[in-house]
Amino acid sequence: AGGVGPQTPLPQHIQMDLEQRAEALRAEGVVAVGIGETADLGNGLRVRPLEVLEDSRCPQNARCVWAGRLRLRVNIEGVGAREIEDNSDAVQTPRGAFSLVAVSPGSWTDWPEGAKPPYRFGFHRA
Per-residue pLDDT for 1 more than 60?
no
Residue type, 24: A
- Domain boundaries, given as residue ranges, for the chain: 12-125
What mean pLDDT do residues 30-48 have? 95
**What would the pLDDT profile of 49-102 be if each residue is shown by its tens digit?**
999 999 888 877 778 888 889 999 999 999 999 999 998 899 999 999 999 988
Predicted confidence at residue 104, as pLDDT, reads 81
Confidence check: pLDDT of 39 > 90: yes
Strand order in the sheet with 31-33: 31-33, 120-125, 96-104, 91-93
Report the alpha-carbon distance of residue 101 to residue 95 in Å, rounded.
Answer: 18
- The count of other CB atoms within 10 Å of the CB of residue 98 is 24
What is the Cα 83 distance to its own chain's centre? 14
pLDDT of residue 98: 97
What's this model's pTM, rounded to 2 decimal places?
0.76
